């Protein structure tokens, strides 16, 4: 039975979760936040989503103290969405310590989300507090929240599966060692039982002993890595997917890319657990890999759709403004600040007399014109330049690493390119167009998105008022 069709609960304190059939039971999501609106909004965002035929149900805790009570009573929670600042400035982080250290719960996936990112720097928080993900509340849209939860639930299911397999293997290894002195045949039979059990698993599973030998690997593993079982090492970059890990450490996971037997690149989520013998010596490591290639492809496609204007293929308004915001806040590095002083420029472009094109030649001609304009602009841009469609026939062009003089030169080149462009329609008609350009220099230390757009718009309006087909600077 697959983890997606299971619900887990503890048999006894400190033991691994047990599986119970619950095909229709929702995935419980513990939301810990002192803001009632956050709980209500989370329910709204998750209302229409489901995963593996199961919906999501919010379990609410309005303080860290209330969350402790819930966590003590429930062991079927795969994920917690946790606020940082509640009854105290670090109530959320203290709760993480309680979950990981006091309760010893390594399975639950913890997604820290905060409206005050400065309270817990992302890198330090994830490393120091064993947090699985870190999001600001502002960036958790419905789709991003759903993607984060699905990833967390998958990770939880994989950890529970490998923990169960780990306990089974440890028990069988101990039994086989004790029985080997009395009855070798019985030990071999037990080994064959485990191998047959693992052989049926659809995901690649392996056990590598302390000497580095593949003592156990299933059919899915051999199909993906046909040479590994023969003792030929295989690795990705600097990290061997089947590498040994220090004995006594907890389960750990990572994502990596490998080349399969067919030569195609596959993206894997690998979860591994070191094994130790009864005397505490290292006994090897077991691992399970989940193929997430298709999931990553879908995520990349969703990202493309979310940032691209469907008509022109340029960035959409939200994304080009986000790139400008990142440039202003220093998230986008300037390639050679020694030559440009960290300067950048924003150019606003408006196609001249676009309404006339639609009125005289049809809206289809207008659509073709917009696409051809973007193609022409891109052919003239540098690799670092970005173009986005602001709306209608208006575009924003972001020129990083460009002084004011550089920006004017680039804008003039773009203007000449548009003026020389001949646009041919499917019916054989041909027409030309021009564009008006407004340019302003971006000042990261003092500008906002609104101020930059305002200056560029003023320059654009002046270019149109002075006769169009020209570049104006402000």
Catalytic positions, please? Answer: 393
Cα–Cα dist 452/439, whole Å: 10
- 189's CB contacts (< 8 A; 6+ apart) are none
- 131 token code pair: 């947090």
Task: With CA atoms as reference, report the closest residue to 86 among 141, 163, 11, 31.
Answer: 31
Cα–Cα dist 324/344, whole Å: 10
Collapse the DSSP code of 311 into the 3-class scheme (helix H, G, I; strand E, B; otherwise coil) and give the result.
coil
Cα–Cα dist 166/171, whole Å: 8
- 123's CB contacts (< 8 A; 6+ apart) are none
Do β-strands 435-442 and 471-473 pair in parallel, antiparallel, or remain unpaired?
parallel
CA angle 9, 14, 17 (to 5 degrees): 25
DSSP-assigned states of every residue in 384-418: T-EEEEEETTEEEEEEET--HHHHHHHHHHHHHHH
Instruction: For helices 184-199 and 142-180, give the axis angle rounded to 10 degrees.
Output: 170
Give the residues across from 29 on adjacent strands: 58, 79
- 89's CB contacts (< 8 A; 6+ apart) are 119
DSSP percent split of the chain into helix, strand, coil, nearest 5: 45, 25, 30
- 442's CB contacts (< 8 A; 6+ apart) are 324, 327, 328, 343, 344, 345, 346, 452
């Amino acid at each position: 039975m697959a983890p997606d069709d299971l619900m887990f609960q503890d048999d006894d304190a400190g033991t691994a979760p047990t599986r119970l059939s619950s095909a229709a039971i929702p995935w419980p999501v513990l939301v810990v936040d002192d803001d009632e609106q956050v709980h209500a909004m989370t329910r709204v965002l998750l209302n229409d989503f489901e995963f593996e035929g199961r919906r999501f149900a919010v379990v609410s805790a309005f303080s860290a103290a209330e969350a402790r009570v819930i966590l003590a009573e429930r062991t079927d929670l795969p994920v917690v969405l946790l606020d940082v600042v509640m009854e105290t400035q670090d109530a959320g982080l203290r709760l993480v310590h309680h979950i990981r250290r006091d309760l010893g719960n390594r399975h639950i996936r913890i997604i820290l989300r905060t409206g005050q990112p400065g309270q817990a720097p992302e890198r330090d928080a994830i490393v120091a507090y064993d947090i699985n993900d870190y999001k600001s509340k502002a960036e958790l849209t419905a789709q991003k929240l759903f993607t984060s939860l699905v990833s967390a639930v998958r990770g939880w299911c994989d950890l529970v599966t490998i923990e169960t397999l780990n306990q089974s293997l440890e028990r069988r290894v101990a039994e086989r060692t004790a029985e080997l002195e009395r009855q070798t045949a019985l030990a071999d039979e037990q080994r064959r039982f485990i191998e047959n059990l693992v052989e049926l698993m659809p995901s690649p599973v392996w056990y590598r002993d302390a000497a580095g030998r593949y003592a156990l690997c299933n059919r899915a593993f051999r199909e993906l890595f046909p040479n590994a079982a023969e003792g030929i090492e295989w690795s990705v970059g600097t990290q061997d997917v089947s590498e040994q890990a220090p004995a006594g450490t907890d389960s750990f996971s990572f994502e990596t890319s490998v080349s399969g037997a067919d030569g195609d690149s596959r993206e894997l989520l690998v979860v591994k657990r070191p094994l130790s013998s009864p005397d505490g010596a290292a006994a090897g490591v077991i691992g399970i890999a989940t193929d997430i290639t298709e999931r990553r492809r879908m995520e990349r496609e969703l990202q493309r759709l979310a940032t691209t204007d469907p008509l022109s293929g340029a960035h959409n308004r939200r994304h080009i403004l986000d790139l400008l915001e990142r440039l202003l806040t220093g998230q986008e590095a300037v390639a050679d600040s020694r030559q440009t002083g960290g300067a950048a420029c924003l150019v606003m472009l408006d196609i001249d007399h676009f309404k006339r094109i639609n009125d005289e030649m049809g809206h289809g001609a207008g659509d073709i014109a917009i696409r051809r304009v973007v193609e022409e602009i891109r052919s003239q841009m540098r690799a670092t330049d970005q173009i986005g469609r602001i709306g209608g026939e208006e575009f924003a062009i972001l020129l990083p690493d460009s002084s004011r003089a550089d920006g004017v030169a680039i804008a003039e080149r773009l203007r000449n390119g548009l003026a020389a462009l001949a646009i041919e329609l499917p019916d054989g008609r041909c027409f030309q167009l021009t564009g008006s350009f407004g340019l302003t220099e971006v000042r990261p230390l003092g500008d906002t998105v609104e101020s930059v757009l305002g200056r560029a718009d003023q320059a654009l309006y002046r270019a149109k008022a002075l006769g169009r087909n020209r570049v104006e600077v402000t």
